[in-house]
Structure 1
Amino acid sequence: MGAKGVTVSYILGYDPETLREQVDLARCHERLEELGDQRSLAALLERVWLLKVQGRLDDALAVSEQSVRVARMAGPRKDLLRARILHATVLQFRGAYAAAEQELTTCADEAEGQGWAALAAFALQHRGKVHFDAGDFDAARADFKRTLFLRQESGAPEDQLESTLLAIEAADHRRSRVAS
């Protein structure tokens, strides 16, 4: 997830070629077992992320759809946006780039409209990753640059700034490879 820092300890780094999280799969599996069938929104969101990074995309999609329903019924708007962003990342991992981009655009626009810079940055960072996966490195770079600005503006932790700088560098590298 990253937005609330819940799963950050499972992230070992980021693959500079794919921008995907490199995770400790054994710890992720253990945590998934610990969560069991908990139905709180926090537990659902964490399960989505854990399932996604383990490559269990069908399960991740089902749980992400459930988390959006739970957030829509019982949570504040920020929680609903977090659930929708995470759902969009599952769509991205499944290769549904257009759907993921549309959802992330809507979430980023709403977050920026509400003045939630950190949440807007979270959505834009992931939209940049969608563009990156789809091969649109100019759009990816633009999203990553906007993310960096928003994260700096909101006082984001150093690890978030570093991941965004890595993403900008990766987009620049890919752009130059495509251009040559």
Structure 2
Amino acid sequence: MTKDQLKLRSMIVTALFAAIIGVMAQITIPLPLVPITGQTLAIGLAATILGARYGTLSVILYLVIGSAGVPVFAEFSGGISKLVGPTGGYLVGFIPAAFIIGWYMEKTSFSFKNAMIANTIGMLVTLAFGTAWLKIAAELTWAAAITGGATPFIIVGLIKAALASWIGIIVRKRLQSAKLLFPAKGKINESV
């Protein structure tokens, strides 16, 4: 298979992950300020499986589609208003989170341990962006923003990080053996 064919397949998988993020965003547990959604699990999966470049591109594509008005954000919503509203910081925070997860994996190894570290960092990045944005957009105190926008998501976030790590490493190996992804770059150990 040529490098161009492999690149095309990686782009197709990237678009597929943008769609997966949109589908998983519809899995929602409502809370007073910010709902718990499947988005963050999907972001972790995309970055763990695709790495920094394609994982981040899948998140950006998802955000562009949602900003254009396609109802792919939580609770079948869409539009630019979601990016500038009280929960917009979480959406924007997905971009650096995906990049950091993928970058960490590429710089270390695609193992469960490193995926768990990377996904935990990614979760914290998302919560930091979301909490700061929530504080400003909803005109909350820092205590209220942290209590409503970060604290309820830590345990659930760790569970999602573990799931994204475990599933992500397995799926990545299978996609690579099917020649649907670029091989890992740098000093990568592809063991679980």
Q: Which has the higher contact order (CA 8 A, sep 6+)?
A: 2
Normalising by structure 1, report the TM-score: 0.31
TM-score of the two chains, using structure 2 as the length reference: 0.30
Larger radius of gyration: 2
